[in-house]
Amino acid sequence: MQKPKKVVMIGLDGFNPDLVYQWKDELPNLSKLMEEGIYGKIKSTVPPITPQAWTCVLTGKNPGHFGYWDFTYRDDYSYGQPELVNSKVRDERVDTVYKILSGYNKKVAIINVPVTYPPPEIPGGYSISSFMTPSLNKQFTHPASLKKEIEKIIGQYIIDASTSDMNFRQMDKEVVLKRIYDMDKQRFELIMHFIKERKCDFVFTVIMGTDRMPHLFYRYFDKNHRRYSSHPKYKNALKNHYKFCDENIGKILNLVGEDTAVIVTSDHSVQRLDGRINLNEWLIKEGYMKLRKRPERLTSLMQTDIDWSQTKAWATGFTGQLYLNLKGRESQGIVDSQDYERLLDELTDKLKAITDEKGERLDTKVYKRKDIHSGEYARFGPDLFVYFDNCHWNISELIGYDSIYSYDTPKGPDDGGHGPFGFFAMAGKGVPRKGKISDADLLDIAPTVLHLFGVPIPQDMEGKVLTKKEKVYSKEDEDEIRERLSRLGYLG
């Protein structure tokens, strides 16, 4: 199969495969990609959080190679995660698709991909930072002159649905709804600009409204939502936004030539949120964490007066990430190394036994870091990862609750949580018509992009190439058949 000359990749943050299948008849352009190429659910990272998920897409490597599992990380054995993720630390630690392609003289544009602040300096290419850009007063494009160019096309760049002084969850619904559409419209216009006017070989843009919308509007259409609310105006808000994205994908499909492959992928899904486990409160209750003084209001982990000399574990994150206070590793560690595995097993059993507030069983999965992540920076990561009820329950790491159960946080109400699978579809030049597949992983995207371009895939990339045709015979079976045919005189 001939290789494409160009690849356009559209990231839809939080896009839910179950909703795509449910609304498929109203999403003609995604349906076209699905019918003409390859599609299915795509396995997210553990945990399924935006920064490391999109970094896995860019690198084809698990988070242990770049060392972050959330928006913050630690690069030593600090308590908590004191550092903010950024493009410099990522690019110092791992190679990315855009760096590799630019090295083969491909003209690259990276737009709004998470963990691209400061904007990466791509030789001969372009980058526009994502929602972790501090403000428009900072340089958020490469080259710097690109800022004026994009302002002529789209006006003032909208960094995110949130504003500088308000989280999008707390904003008036009508105000934030308009802002999301305006923001996403800008991104789609920029995709087409870099395809048509800048004639880039590889364009990769992430649409963030597909994450923001379900966090705000999931309760209005899903009758199984614990906070389901019948609302004539908002009941189709999420579906309408999916249709809006589909329409814009259609414009891109009409714009690209026959020499182009188009990839649509999400980093995880956003699904119904049933509640939160206040995980540090649970650790306190079970005796794994000790406080010197209990806070009078909800307080972050690192602002709480914790007695580390009597604390065995602490929790951070969105779905649940647990660190042990290990002797010889953390500065005030108390867990002996010979007790490390035993304590992880003990915590795993107890975490799986946590029910909801009504005593109903939760389908909880717990992963040990050493079983799922490897690489130079894995040692700084959480020791355990928790998925309460397949991520329908998230956690709050705050301390000061009067129960281990809660729903909202001080950040505001939230209708959705991140699910462990995203959606992907690809079609066009170089993409076989394989239909639905069930084993796609975010780690597969980077090697697939390189393969489409005919660029050598680094040996340390962990993913597989999704566009390779499946072999009928295994290597062992093929060797046996070739030997048999040779004995029969059919092969020389």
| pLDDT over 80 at 227, yes or no | yes
CB distance 123 to 102 below 8 Å? yes
| pLDDT over 80 at 240, yes or no | yes
Residue 277 CA to residue 33 CA, distance in Å, equals: 39
Lowest-pLDDT range, 89-103, 268-282, 375-389, 467-481? 467-481
Mean pLDDT taken over the chain: 95
| pLDDT over 90 at 459, yes or no | yes
Sign of CA dihedral 363, 237, 265, 409: negative
| pLDDT over 90 at 468, yes or no | no
Residue 108's nearest CA partner among 208, 2, 195 is: 195
| pLDDT over 80 at 430, yes or no | yes
Q: Tokens representing 307?
A: 């007695």
The confidence score (pLDDT) of residue 476 equals 82
- Tell me: the pLDDT tens digits for 205-221? 999 999 999 999 999 99
| pLDDT over 90 at 171, yes or no | no
Write the single-letter amino acid at 489.
G
Contacts of 22 (CB under 8 A, 6+ apart): none
The confidence score (pLDDT) of residue 482 equals 86
- Tell me: the pLDDT tens digits for 107-156? 999 999 999 999 999 999 999 999 999 999 999 999 999 999 999 999 99
The confidence score (pLDDT) of residue 492 equals 65
Residue 485 CA to residue 492 CA, distance in Å, equals: 9
Write the single-letter amino acid at 95.
D
Residue 402 CA to residue 411 CA, distance in Å, equals: 18
The confidence score (pLDDT) of residue 484 equals 84
The confidence score (pLDDT) of residue 413 equals 75
| pLDDT over 70 at 460, yes or no | yes
Higher pLDDT pick, 154 / 487: 154
| pLDDT over 90 at 164, yes or no | no
pLDDT > 90: percent of the chain:
90
The confidence score (pLDDT) of residue 483 equals 84
The confidence score (pLDDT) of residue 490 equals 81
Over residues 276-301, the mean pLDDT reads 96
Q: Tokens representing 476?
A: 């062992």
Q: Where are the beta strands (DSSP E) in 186-320?
A: 202-207, 260-265, 269-272, 275-278, 291-293, 305-306, 313-316
The confidence score (pLDDT) of residue 481 equals 85
| pLDDT over 90 at 34, yes or no | yes
H/E stretch holding 329 reads none
- Tell me: the pLDDT tens digits for 346-387? 999 999 999 999 999 999 999 999 999 999 999 999 999 999
| pLDDT over 80 at 412, yes or no | no
Q: Which domains does the chain have, with CATH numbers?
A: 6-271+418-453 (3.40.720.10), 275-406 (no CATH)
| pLDDT over 90 at 477, yes or no | no
The confidence score (pLDDT) of residue 180 equals 97
CB distance 265 to 445 below 8 Å? yes
SS3 letters for 69-137? Answer: CCCEECCCCCCCCCEECCHHHHHHHCCCHHHHHHHCCCCEEEECCCCCCCCCCCCCCEEECCCCCCCCC
